[in-house]
Structure 1
Amino acid sequence: MELASLTALGGTDRGRQRDHNEDSFGMNTQVNIRQTNHSKVVDGRGLYIVCDGMGGHAAGEVASKMAVETLEEFFAENWRKDFPDEETILKGILLANQNLFDVNQKNASSGSGRMGTTLVLMLVDKTKVAVAHVGYSRIYAISRKQGVQQLTIDHEVGQRAIQNGVDPKLAYARPDAYQLTQALGPHNNKYVQPDILFLELAEDSLFLLCSDGLCDNDLVEDHWETYLLPLLKSSQSLNKGMIRLIDFANNYNGHDNITAVFIRLKIRPKVNSQDW
């Protein structure tokens, strides 16, 4: 299989109950098309990031923006040719954490005053994809054969209990069930253990990176066929789809900032030059 096209779009909204937006996103898509009368080759790669900040006195805005900028600078320097491996991705995430942690230490911040942020990160190189996350922002993959798949597992107390064998209903009955078990910024690198996953695409796919203001209350699981599946078609506007999804999320949730990034990859069988 090979890449036929790569398109992406990001959007964010303050939500209906917050007075400022602590989410940040960053994206960089590069597409190069080489075509002759014998062949057409599409080289596409991209970096996509969503961060949901937290902390007192608008520190969440600072934390999420710092994390995005650190990772953009890191991969600009460390992704010149070969697709980044797990060690390289981990190095970038730990650098972002260390930068935030150093600011917290310098400001002698404590408790809720310590700034921090969640992170979801996606790298694309042709049909190769890497995803990584810290916290409870999410990445979903949508395709016709596989349907909707949540590629991330929330780093929160309830999920940790489930992974330790506790019944899900009991795990989420506890008062601290939605408390983060890790984030970027509050603690040193010893306490940051991102999940990193590599994929090889074999069919058209749409990826959604989002903050929990969008995906809360099973919004994606219950409504992906209406709001996401149609966007697999090249004829469907990602911009109109983004506006529609954020409007729906504001009506469905609306209690938090809402941020989403779409990445649409069209895949085709490799075409031999004699077929042109």
Structure 2
Amino acid sequence: MSCWRGQGRTHAGRRSANEDALVCRDGEGLWAVIDGMGGHDAGDLAATMIRHALENLALGGGIAHRLLAVDAALQSANHAIRHHAAMHLGSKPMGATVVVLLIHDGEAGVLWAGDARLYRHDP
């Protein structure tokens, strides 16, 4: 059980639609920020697909096992996004960036795709 708690908020910025998504699974030590790729079709849907993959992921085992499970979930979401783009968008670009933080039993791991970043802040 994680003693860390996450909290997040998204903002559309200068865009008309907010294509961001967050995952906060505090009790399991998994947090993610997902940013739909603006300028491409269906960035909001891509972000939602990644969010669902991470929210529905079964976590167990040590940090290495959890990292592999998150990686597999992200790979599966990527496949689903590419399939959706091929079937419904004429293969136009569709995607999202993502950064995931995992903390379990005193160990941490980070996975990311695209230009998503994670910063450590020391108060």
TM-score normalised by structure 1 residue count:
0.40
Match of residue 123 from structure 1: 102
- 15, 18, 23: which is aligned to 2:20? 23
Matches of 1:103 and 1:135, distance apart in 2: 19
Aligned to 1:96: 77
SS in 2 for 1:6: coil
Q: Which runs of 5+ in 1 are unaligned?
A: 31-44, 144-228, 230-276
**What code does the residue aligned with 2:46 have?**
A
User: 2 CA distance for matches of 1:9 and 1:126?
Assistant: 21
TM-score by length of 2: 0.84
- Say which of 20, 32, 37 aligns to 1:49: 32
Shift of 1:20: 1.1
Determine the C-alpha separation between the residues in 1 that align with 2:21 and 2:120. 21
- Contact kept? 1:8, 1:29, Cα under 8 Å: yes
- Cα offset for 1:71? 1.9
Q: Give yes or no for contact 2:32–2:99 (8 Å, CA) kept in 1.
A: yes
Shift of 1:130: 1.0
Count of residues paired in the alignment: 119
Alpha-carbon distance in structure 2 between the residues aligned to 1:67 and 1:109: 21
Moved over 6 A (4+): none
Alignment match, 1:157: none
RMSD: 1.9
Structure having the higher Rg = 1
Q: Distance in 2 between matches of 1:60 and 1:108?
A: 12
Equivalent of 1:82, from 33, 52, 62? 62
What code does the residue aligned with 1:89 have?
V
Q: 8 Å contact 2:23–2:54 — kept in the other structure?
A: no
Shift of 1:136: 0.5
Superposition map of 1:207-218 within 5 A:
none
Instruction: Give yes or no for contact 2:81–2:94 (8 Å, CA) kept in 1.
Output: yes
The answer to whether the 8 Å contact 2:34/2:97 transfers is yes
Letter in 2 for 1:130: G
Shift of 1:52: 1.0
How many Å apart are 1:84 and its aligned residue? 4.1
Q: Percent identity?
A: 26
Q: Which amino acid aligns with 1:72?
A: E
Q: CA deviation at 1:80?
A: 2.8
Provide the C-alpha distance between the structure 2 equivalents of 1:117 and 1:128, rounded to a whole number of angstroms: 27
- Contact 2:34-2:47 at 8 Å conserved across structures: yes
Counterpart residue identity of residue 67, structure 1: I
1:89 Cα shift?
3.2
Name the SS of the counterpart of 2:10 in structure 1.
Answer: strand
Gaps of 5+ in 2: none
The Cα shift of 1:81 comes to 3.5
In the alignment, which residue of structure 2 is the partner of 1:151?
A: none
Residue 102 of structure 1 aligns to a residue in which SS? helix
TM-superposition CA deviations, 1:124-152 (whole Å, max 9, x none): 11321110000001101123xxxxxxxxx
Structure in which a larger fraction of residues adopt strand: 1
